[in-house]
Amino acid sequence: MVARIKTVAFQGVDTLAIDVQVQISGGINGFAVVGLVGESRERVRAALSAIGLALPPKRITVNLSPADVTKEGSHFDLPIALGLMVAMGVLPAEEIDGFLSLGEMALDGSIAPVTGVLPAAIAANARDLGLICPAACGPEAAWAGDMAILAAPDLLALVNHFKGNQILQPPEARLADDGTPPPDLADIKGQESAKRVLEIAAAGGHNLLMVGPPGAGKSMRASRLAGILPPMDPREALEVSMIQSLAGTMGDGRLNRTRPFRDPHHSASMPALVGGGTRVRPGEISLAHNAVLFLDELPEFARPVLEALRQPLESGRAVVARANSHVTSPPGYNWLPP
């Protein structure tokens, strides 16, 4: 018997369907994970042991298909653990088949939060599937729409839910508090022409270049630009939250309708600004989607970093191409004062 569990891999804000296949067969005892993910093995073994399940003394093979797709992150732990429990007869295969799952396993059997739950939930909803995720990520997943969500604190709670001994309550979608208000443009006395320029840039979504001697108030005015922008509509808030979910900056799974203000230091590298790295993550221009990207002391940024901004400004997309990945993220509408 081969147990199959649905999950996803991330390519920017897009998701790719991954099929986790688990087979328990006769042969020399072993636990092999193939498909470019291997570090989950020991976490899953310890988590199952914590809830009183020992792996059978047989040959266990876990395949993450398609095998040639780059898979990164610890969110494959939970699908592997669920696949093992289905193959061992602990969980019903027909019920698990209606869910997409992701989560990181702790050694005590609890399910730790992971990044990217909101895009995964939207992908599951588009496929008419439910979602199994960590309890801490439940409020985030609830924004994906009307769907079945099992936000479990640990593996034992999931087993009890499917056995009918415990009911996992659906999580509630929550909005983030307004928090500290951004600096107010009304604090600036005089400089009516400069404030008028900010208002025009905010109203039209224009890029803005400010030039002047030190102490002229360029940074002071730029920091107040986000404060005169209108709150994000639901579509914009969802787009921004998806990017924040992948970057791990979505606090407590709450949707934020306040436009972010990103202010990277002039020593920021190209991957930090455009996106990339060993594990491709959104850069500052993507985190400033539908909001404000402020590049203070623009001439101090490295020339390759500035050159990398040309294509996003022209095409409206941030494309990161690497030998093993090709990721496209939305940079949105950004303002670039020096």
- Would you list the domain boundaries of the chain? 2-163, 185-329
Peptide bond into 304 cis (omega under 30): no
Task: List average pLDDT for each run of 10 residues in the chain, which is 338 residues long.
Answer: 88 84 84 73 88 87 83 88 91 91 92 91 93 92 90 92 89 77 80 86 84 83 84 83 82 78 86 72 81 86 84 71 58 42
Query: In this structure, what are the phi and psi dihedrals at residue 230, rounded to the nearest 5 degrees?
Result: -70, 155
Choices 3.40.50.150, 3.40.50.300, 3.30.930.10, 3.40.50.261: CATH for 185-329: 3.40.50.300
The pLDDT, as a whole number, for residue 330 is 61
- Alpha-carbon distance of 284 to 194, in angstroms, equals 26
40-50 and 77-87 helices, crossing angle to 10°: 60
The pLDDT, as a whole number, for residue 329 is 59
Q: 261 with 235: CB under 8 angstroms?
A: no
User: Given the DSSP bridges, would you call strands 149-152 and 130-134 parallel, antiparallel or unpaired?
Assistant: parallel
The pLDDT, as a whole number, for residue 7 is 93
- Alpha-carbon distance of 154 to 106, in angstroms, equals 9
The pLDDT, as a whole number, for residue 177 is 72
**Burial of 5 from C-beta contacts in 10 A (0-12 / 13-18 / 19+):** buried
Q: State the fold for domain 2-163.
A: Ribosomal Protein S5; domain 2 (3.30.230)
